[in-house]
Structure 1
Amino acid sequence: MSPQGRLVRRVAVATVTSGPMIDLGELRHEPESEPLPRPPRAVGRPLRCALVFVLLLACLTGSVPTLVRAEVVLPARLGADALLVGDLVMIIDPFDGSGDRRLAAYRLPGGEPAWESSLPAQGRYWGMSTVGGMLVVTGHQGGSGVERSLTVVLDLATGAYRWQQPGRPLELADGNLLLESIDPDLTGTLRAVDPCCGAPRWSIPVAGHQVVYRYAGTGVDRIALVSAEGRVGVFDAVTGALRVGADLWQGERNVNVQLIGDLLVTVGDTPGTVTAYDLDRLERRWQTRVGDALYAGECDPVICVGSRDVGLWVLDPATGRQLWTDDRWAGIWSTGGRLLAGAASTAGPGAEQLVVLDPATGAVLGELGLWEMAFPARRDAPLVGTRRHPNGGLLVAELDAGAGTARLLDVLSDAGGECQGNGDRLVCRRTDGAYGVWSLRR
């Protein structure tokens, strides 16, 4: 296979009808009968025949559309990672235990090579993202028996190396990068840096704290450091300044903490207890008991609480009142003011039975079917689901939570999974190990 992306075009001709398409098999050529006597030649007949043929051809081509299935194939080794960003697809080679890692960028729609770069450090690279025109690549480096995160930053347009620093990156609300360097004993530092050059903005030491974040818009805007003894500090993620601190409980306890909207929510102070504090003042808002609650999460406009086993409780964030509970659902997330939930009976890797729920009542508003979510390559990308076709390849559908429907978009015969999409294109691992890029039909 050449280093360039290979454009594969599969052409199918179909007649659009109101019913299913029927395969008529092969049209075989039968022996001809004796030729008929040739009729007398008429003046002007060739011209009339030509005109009739042209008109007939125009009618046929107008009523029978030609559907062209275009696929760009990008070379990749088994275990490689890919990222779709705008009109670029980045592919990073898998770790083979020696040498630098190769990162190649291909430009869409044709799949031509845009640039190639070598990552300057060994290790297992496991994530890519973009911030401020930079490509941020994150991996693990081993040493002294401890595996630490490493961030390498390249110019997105050219692949030129810019800088590298230890830490796991998160995007901040102001466009800077937060590098989280925390050891297994929960000691380390949080550092904000400029994505262009790695220049430091601020730093916060971490000493045995649980670190939690609040996301607003495009990135993190609040950080909470929580000790096992109940000492909590809330920091401004843009400036690094401490906004408020308080002791929320006494004695060492195993408490799960989340920042949800304008609340700091704790679960597990005592079994099944969920407590909410005002994030700006750390004053208690409400407290409630919820079964064997283990963790809480934001399900805008409500709060979702889960347990070790199946089951879901939904709370009113203003009062803590239980709105509804249901043991049919496992994974759940919010989209467009509604909840998308996966059935507990199909939970796990691969496709799940997905439904749309009313956040206030838990009523099922739509059943989408069995789908595996494609990773959204941009924040506003429509939800896309895939599942295996019985005859091979993947079925692709747009999942509309607002309408509670799944609209079939395509059947990709060579796709194997690991898909990501931006609304216009879908990148998936092919069955032969390479990556394919398909333009979605709408």
Structure 2
Amino acid sequence: MLIELDRDAPLDQAPGRRPPPRLYRPAGLLLAATLLVTLAGAAPFASTFWRDLGTIAAAGDAETPIQLAGGRIYTAGTAGRDREVTAWSLDRPMRRLWATRVPIGMSYNPVSGLFGSFTIRQAGDVVLLSEGFATTALDGRTGQVRWRSPVAVTLLGTGGIGVAVERVFRPGTVYDQASGDPGPLYFSASGEPHTEPPVRTEVRGLDIATGRVVWTSAPGGSVTVDPVHGDGPAVLITSSDRLTLHAAGTGEVLAEAALPKLNGSGPVTATVAGDVALVGYRAPGQEVAYDVRTLRRLWAWKLPDFEGDTPDCRDVICSGPRDDLWVLDPATGRRAWQANGDVDLTVRAGMVLETKVRTGRPDRLADPLTGRNRVILTGWDEVLPGEPNGTVVVRRDTDSGQTFGAVLPGRAELRVLGTVDVDSGECSADEHHLVCRDGTGLRVWAYRI
């Protein structure tokens, strides 16, 4: 590139005479603009921070998923009918903070010797360990057990409140599993089958720090309970005849709406997708949408009748078989855009992630309202699990190991983090760390983009 630095200078300048500063100004501005463009293009590479923090030698049981929560790593092993949980600090040098044993109880299967699904979440200085149907709250500083719940506890935002649901059945309705008798079954919060629906459902708001019940709602019959995230976390309870929105911290009723019967029957399904509550009826096959905050009725549509697998759309309102899959406008219920082939859909980083059904590989991140491409992900093998509005971390196998990349929420840009020499594809990530199982240990990296 040829740049004329002194276009306005006199042609016959006296030797040794320096041009006045004003004559450099146009050239300086041009050079600054050129450097700004050049550096902006290089920013994705220059600003990526990637550091190997080392290895945690004791990685727990190989069948237990890697757990990252609250800037820590948690490993878990088995000790008879107990879980042995260890917390590790990710500050350099990485070190063990504490180890504790947690009795699992009903979640343990004595025939197979296996526990239930295992997840760890952190709320302030409390660590919630969910194993099967039970939840145990540990002190984040010491690992000591603070309280236990025989049923699952769902966190509601960051306000230190959780919600537990327990269904109460009429005595004598427990299903005899040895009989094999046909008929519909209704399951308790601990997974016990019953032959009749519950007579009532108790929804309890819990103080996460102490396990104390802060509020209780006991609607009759069977209900669904969905957390409502965002500003002012809440709980939406859908019963056979109404929608009720409760404040997470106090249980106060914020909004309520009656649900009509269609063809003499009430709703049979309910779910929340973003800012919309969807209430489904079996006869006729219809779904009615309500605003999740005001409970104002938005729209209704007839559920499509098709054979084959139902598309997996999480936090996305979709319609049709997988080979003709459409995303609906949450405000109107009309078709907004068509998915890109045979894919499943879920919300990640504020966008819609399309994953190929046959291979499980990511295809792209799309704009949730228009379906336009935001980030192309072809060529990557996997998207690591994460929160709907959190960072997306992707992985692919290469000749020199595994390469990782990341997409920040709302940013239509994929940054390559680095390549690591580990054989295992079992990895987990949060907004600042990446961890992979490597032999009997865990390799850990820190990143920032």
Distance 1:355 1:329, change over 3 A: farther
In structure 2, the partner of 1:372 is 382
In structure 2, the partner of 1:318 is 331
Distance 1:205 1:363, change over 3 A: same
In structure 1, the partner of 2:8 is none
In structure 2, the partner of 1:247 is 259
1:279-318 correspondence runs (5 A): 279=292, 284-289=297-302, 291-292=304-305, 304-307=317-320, 309-318=322-331
Aligned counterparts of 1:404 and 1:368: Cα–Cα separation in 2: 11
- The answer to whether the 8 Å contact 1:367/1:405 transfers is no
> What is the RMSD of the two structures over their aligned residues, measured on CA atoms?
3.3
In structure 2, the partner of 1:181 is 166
Of the three residues 384, 394, 397, the one matched with 2:393 is 384
In structure 1, the partner of 2:141 is 157
Q: Deviations over 1:337-364 (max 9, x none)?
A: 53222233433xxxx1321223333233
TM superposition score normalised by structure 2: 0.68
In structure 1, the partner of 2:432 is 424
Q: Does 1:234 align with 2:244?
A: yes
CA-CA distance at 1:288 after TM superposition: 2.7
- The answer to whether the 8 Å contact 2:312/2:345 transfers is no
1:399-414 correspondence runs (5 A): 399=407, 404-414=412-422
In structure 2, the partner of 1:83 is 67
Distance 1:413 1:336, change over 3 A: closer
Aligned counterparts of 1:220 and 1:310: Cα–Cα separation in 2: 36
Q: Does 1:205 align with 2:218?
A: yes
Q: Does 1:438 align with 2:449?
A: no
Larger mean CA deviation between 255-264 and 317-326 belongs to 255-264
Of the three residues 266, 271, 283, the one matched with 2:279 is 266
Match of 2:239, SS state, is strand
CA-CA distance at 1:114 after TM superposition: 0.9
In structure 1, the partner of 2:82 is 100
In structure 2, the partner of 1:135 is 127
CA-CA distance at 1:225 after TM superposition: 2.4
Aligned counterparts of 2:311 and 2:271: Cα–Cα separation in 1: 8
CA-CA distance at 1:181 after TM superposition: 3.0
In structure 2, the partner of 1:37 is none
In structure 2, the partner of 1:21 is none
Aligned counterparts of 2:420 and 2:54: Cα–Cα separation in 1: 9
Aligned counterparts of 1:83 and 1:387: Cα–Cα separation in 2: 21
Of the three residues 346, 352, 358, the one matched with 2:367 is 358
Match of 2:377, SS state, is strand
Distance 1:69 1:259, change over 3 A: closer
Aligned counterparts of 1:85 and 1:100: Cα–Cα separation in 2: 21
Aligned counterparts of 2:81 and 2:227: Cα–Cα separation in 1: 38
CA-CA distance at 1:192 after TM superposition: 1.2
CA-CA distance at 1:367 after TM superposition: 1.6
- The answer to whether the 8 Å contact 2:384/2:429 transfers is yes
In structure 2, the partner of 1:194 is 207
CA-CA distance at 1:441 after TM superposition: 7.3
Count of aligned pairs:
353
- The answer to whether the 8 Å contact 1:267/1:295 transfers is no
TM superposition score normalised by structure 1: 0.69
- The answer to whether the 8 Å contact 2:100/2:143 transfers is yes
Distance 1:305 1:296, change over 3 A: farther
- The answer to whether the 8 Å contact 1:394/1:416 transfers is no
Instruction: Compare relative contact order (CA 8 Å, sep 6+) and give the higher one, 1 or 2.
Output: 2
In structure 2, the partner of 1:59 is none
- The answer to whether the 8 Å contact 1:265/1:276 transfers is yes
CA-CA distance at 1:118 after TM superposition: 0.9
Distance 1:193 1:360, change over 3 A: closer
- The answer to whether the 8 Å contact 1:258/1:296 transfers is no
Of the three residues 223, 232, 243, the one matched with 2:236 is 223
- The answer to whether the 8 Å contact 2:374/2:412 transfers is yes
Distance 1:217 1:428, change over 3 A: farther
Match of 1:342, SS state, is strand
Q: Does 1:397 align with 2:397?
A: no
Task: State, as a whole percentage, how many aligned pairs show the same letter.
Answer: 23
Distance 1:284 1:223, change over 3 A: closer
- The answer to whether the 8 Å contact 2:349/2:407 transfers is no
Residue type at the aligned position of 1:180: V
Match of 1:77, SS state, is coil
Distance 1:374 1:327, change over 3 A: closer
Distance 1:210 1:295, change over 3 A: farther
In structure 2, the partner of 1:343 is 356
CA-CA distance at 1:169 after TM superposition: 1.0
